[in-house]
């Protein structure tokens, strides 16, 4: 009886793993890389905000993604600081409706020229807003995420909040790839 029970447990565990993998948004092979920032490494001042007491270049980093799911019809990109002392993190960049044929962005990319929608960052300005953690607050993580989407256009306008955009992306993404860099002052 014990043998049968253990065998059933093994089958249940295997089935759970297979089901979890098939519903995961972290697509096998989907990858986000950059020539400007590296996983777990501190970003250069080039990517620091210009304002709020910071005086960096306020440029978005170069980003490249590969091996997106086959059914991808558009992309979204976000940059988020979960360590901001706000209770809700800090949205540095939210853009969607990036055409499916786009697989890289140059440093300081203008996403609106690609036909993408860029939202107002938590700084109150449209588009990318660089790192600017409070002085002495320690190292902050900056999570750059590319989202593969099954639609050409999200039914959201440029006035929607970053939280609503994040909710929408989480609810419908068919794949994600993330690159987390750090910064402190």
Checking if the pLDDT of 152 tops 90, the result is yes
* Reported confidence tier of residue 140, pLDDT bands at 50, 70, 90: very high
* pLDDT tens sequence across 8-59: 454 444 443 333 344 444 557 999 999 999 999 999 999 999 999 999 999 9
Please give the model's pTM, rounded to 2 decimal places: 0.85
Q: Are strands 50-51 and 104-105 parallel, antiparallel or unpaired?
A: unpaired
Question: Has residue 101 got a pLDDT over 60?
Answer: yes
Q: How far apart are alpha carbons 159 and 155 in whole angstroms?
A: 12
Three-state SS at 51: strand
Enter the DSSP assignment of 60.
P
Q: Where are the domains of the chain?
A: 26-183
pLDDT, tens only, 105-120: 999 999 999 999 999 9
Residue 1, CA distances (Å) to 7, 11, 28 in order: 10, 16, 38
Task: Say what the pLDDT of residue 27 is.
Answer: 54
- With a cut of 70, say whether residue 7 has pLDDT above it: no
Q: What is the pLDDT of residues 153-180, one digit of tens each?
A: 999 999 999 999 999 999 999 999 999 9
Closest CA relative to residue 181, chosen from 34, 25, 29:
34
Report the alpha-carbon distance of residue 16 to residue 181 in Å, rounded.
32
pLDDT, position 19: 37
Residue range 61-75: average pLDDT? Answer: 98
Domain 26-183: CATH architecture, name and number where available: Alpha-Beta Complex (3.90)
């Amino acid at each position: 009886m014990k043998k049968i029970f253990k065998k059933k447990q093994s089958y249940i565990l295997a089935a759970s793993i297979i089901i979890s993998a098939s519903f995961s948004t972290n697509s096998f092979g989907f990858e986000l890389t950059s020539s400007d920032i590296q996983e777990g490494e501190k970003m250069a001042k080039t990517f620091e905000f210009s304002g709020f007491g910071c005086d960096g270049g306020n440029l978005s980093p170069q980003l490249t993604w590969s091996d997106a799911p086959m059914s991808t019809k558009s992309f979204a990109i976000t940059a988020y600081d979960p360590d901001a002392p706000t209770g809700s993190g800090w949205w540095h960049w939210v853009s969607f409706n990036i055409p499916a044929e786009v697989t890289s962005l140059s440093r300081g990319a203008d996403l609106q020229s690609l036909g993408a929608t860029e939202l107002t960052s938590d700084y109150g300005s449209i588009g990318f807003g660089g790192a600017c953690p409070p002085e002495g607050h320690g190292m902050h993580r900056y999570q750059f995420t590319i989202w593969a989407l099954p639609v050409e256009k999200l039914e959201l306008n440029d006035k929607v909040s970053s939280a609503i955009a994040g909710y929408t992306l989480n609810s419908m993404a068919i794949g994600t790839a993330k690159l987390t860099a750090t910064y402190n002052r």
